[in-house]
Amino acid sequence: MRLDRSSGVFCHVTSLPGRHGIGDLGDGAKAFLSFLGDADIGHWQVCPLGPTMGAAGESPYQSPSAFAGNPLLIDLDGLVDDGWLDESDLEPIPDFPEDRVDYDAVREYKQPLLRTAFERFDEAEAGKAHSEFDAFREREPWLDDYALFRAMSGERDDDTWVEWPDPLRTREPEALDEARERHATEVRFGEFLQWMFDRQWRDLRAVAADEGVSIVGDVPIYVALDSADVWANPEAFRLDEGNRPAVVAGVPPNPGDDGQRWGNPVYDWDRLAERDYDWWIARFRRLFELADVARLDHFLGFVKYWAIPADADDPAAGEWCEGPGRDLFETVERELGQAPFIAEDLGFEEPAMDELMVEFGFPGMRVPQYADWCAEGNQYQPMHYPEGVVGYTSTHDTDTWVGYFEGLPERQRDCFRYNVGADGDRPPEWEIIDEVWASEAVLAMTTVQDLLGLGSESRFNEPGTLNGNWEWRVRRDALDDAIADRLWDLAGRHVR
């Protein structure tokens, strides 16, 4: 599916303003969409929307589900409007920091309120809301396994599911039936949370559509081991007879590094092909219930992937294996139509990957922070971007532009200024925003941090570290009319 020449802003939902300690699906998100509409921005990009876990550093890329939404994003004021909470229930609101998320404090405050809302819903006389809830449970086939998985995980919060007793780990029907009966209330609570998230997200998408804004979602190619996805769908993964990983994902050593062992289970692509990629079709179908466009993380993995024996610690012990390639995306087109995907192709040169992207019309990514500003024709310099890419000033995994620019050697800074014709009248973040907007890239993207000219202290994530990531938030008054007007002017000048 071909994208129109347009622009976008990345800001994960947790980073939005809000009075309950974390960005949510309420007024702060609606105000942000209004800002994007005023700025003539066509796309809002977010990270994966799934639940996060403290044990995984709150990373949205290590979620217990590729299908579920994060209950911490549920707008409590919306539950008041629905009648499941009273305004007095929300008081006192803790003195949350405005510029970052304290996940432990947010959970301590929000989780009891979410349970209160569920109890009032469950005790209320059956009516329209209960019919809508039942329809949601019927419509989403992943929901039952996910809610049961979370209920059982809560009972054994020190163990991953691979340490569960054999009958539960290997999903023996009698053991699952017994577990559903034992955890019936907790399962229903988990389903209620997903219904609330789904309702509020759909309402927010309607607001986005009214503002002329499309949602760009994100698809991590791999899922977490400790997830409902692996436990409930063992046939989709390369597991041993006890449903434990036989091989795990990573990347091989390259000159100057030792490679990486990510530890995620890898897919049994041969068996998935025999099933017409049913798990992936279900995943993409759910994704496009929540987003209009999707970024496919680590796109190389669909062409070939590095498989490391699960009992090996050294990434060098792995081997390249063939991915599904065009067969998967032909099946996607047959089942879902032409899907609007962005391929994350950074860091790898692979002709087969490039050919696959061209064949299906998936734009790749270009990030100017990877540029050598003194090398003529460098592919990461915006003036050399082809039409079939998405240009980013920064991403969720890089430094902010200001932080990057301050760390550049002086010669690289001079080459940057020469290449973009900088005259010193504009700060560096607006120089690069202008360059990316002016490029041939079909979609030009920036981050809220770059719009505000923030430094490394406002970085969203630093790969390879666990602490302090995914916490940054924007203050409500930061995105003002002056920034919106500046973006609106850029969109007009560069025909976006």
- Say yes or no to pLDDT of 146 above 90: yes
pLDDT digits over 55-98, tens only?
Answer: 899 999 999 999 999 999 999 999 999 999 999 999 999 999 99
Give the predicted TM-score (pTM) of the model: 0.96
pLDDT digits over 15-47, tens only?
Answer: 999 999 999 999 999 999 999 999 999 999 999
Q: Read off the pLDDT band of 151 (50, 70, 90).
A: very high
- Say yes or no to pLDDT of 174 above 90: yes
Q: What's the average model confidence in pLDDT over 235-263?
A: 93
- Say yes or no to pLDDT of 1 above 60: no
Ranking 37-46, 60-69, 195-204, 457-466 by mean pLDDT, the lowest is 457-466
Number of domains comprising the chain: 1
Residue 108 designated active-site: no
pLDDT digits over 314-343, tens only?
Answer: 999 999 999 999 999 999 999 999 889 999
Q: Which of 75, 145, 297, 399 is catalytic?
A: 297
Is 343 a member of any domain? yes
pLDDT averaged over the chain? 96
Is 99 a member of any domain? no
pLDDT digits over 356-399, tens only?
Answer: 999 999 999 999 999 999 999 999 999 999 999 999 999 999 99
pLDDT digits over 280-324, tens only?
Answer: 999 999 999 999 999 999 999 999 999 999 999 999 999 999 999
SS in 3 state form for the chain?
CCCCCEEEEECCHHHCCCCCCCCCCCHHHHHHHHHHHHCCCCEEECCCCCCCCHHHCCCCCCCCCCCCCCHHHCCHHHHHHHCCCCHHHHCCCCCCCCCECCHHHHHHHHHHHHHHHHHHHHHCCCCHHHHHHHHHHHHCCCHHHHHHHHHHHHHCCCCCHHHCCHHHHCCCHHHHHHHHHHCHHHHHHHHHHHHHHHHHHHHHHHHHHHCCCEEEEEECCCCCCCCHHHHHCHHHECECCCCCECEEEEECCCCCCCCEEEEEECECHHHHHHCCCHHHHHHHHHHHHHCCEEEECCHHHHCEEEEEECCCCCHHHCEEEECCCHHHHHHHHHHHCCCCEEECCCCCCCHHHHHHHHHHCCCEEECHHHCCCCCCCCCCCHHHCCCCEEEECCCCCCCCHHHHHHCCCHHHHHHHHHHHCCCCCCCHHHHHHHHHHHCCCCEEEEEHHHHCCCCHHHCCCCCCCCCCCCCECCCCCCCCHHHHHHHHHHHHHCCC
Is 406 a member of any domain? yes
Q: Strand 260-265 and strand 43-45: pairing?
A: unpaired
Q: What's the average model confidence in pLDDT over 449-474?
A: 95
Residue 466 has what pLDDT?
82
Is 304 a member of any domain? yes
Residues in the chain: 496
Q: Which of 27, 335, 397, 440 is catalytic?
A: 397
Residue 172 designated active-site: no
Is 267 a member of any domain? yes
CATH for 35: 3.20.20.80
Residue 126 has what pLDDT?
87
pLDDT digits over 387-431, tens only?
Answer: 999 999 999 999 999 999 999 999 999 999 999 988 778 999 999
Q: Read off the pLDDT band of 156 (50, 70, 90).
A: confident
Angle, CA of 298, 300 and 306, to the nearest 5°: 95
Is 108 a member of any domain? no
Residue 367 has what pLDDT?
98
Q: Which of 344, 431, 435, 471 is catalytic?
A: 344
How far apart CA 145 and CA 124 sit, in angstroms, is 26
Domain of 389, in residue numbers: 6-67+205-495
How far apart CA 268 and CA 250 sit, in angstroms, is 16
Q: Read off the pLDDT band of 467 (50, 70, 90).
A: confident
Q: How many CB atoms lie within 10 A of CB 376?
A: 8
Is 276 a member of any domain? yes
Backbone angles phi, psi at 474, to 5 degrees: -95, 140
Residue 344 designated active-site: yes
- Beta bridge partner(s), residue 388: none
Q: Read off the pLDDT band of 123 (50, 70, 90).
A: very high
Is 455 a member of any domain? yes
Angle, CA of 243, 245 and 246, to the nearest 5°: 110
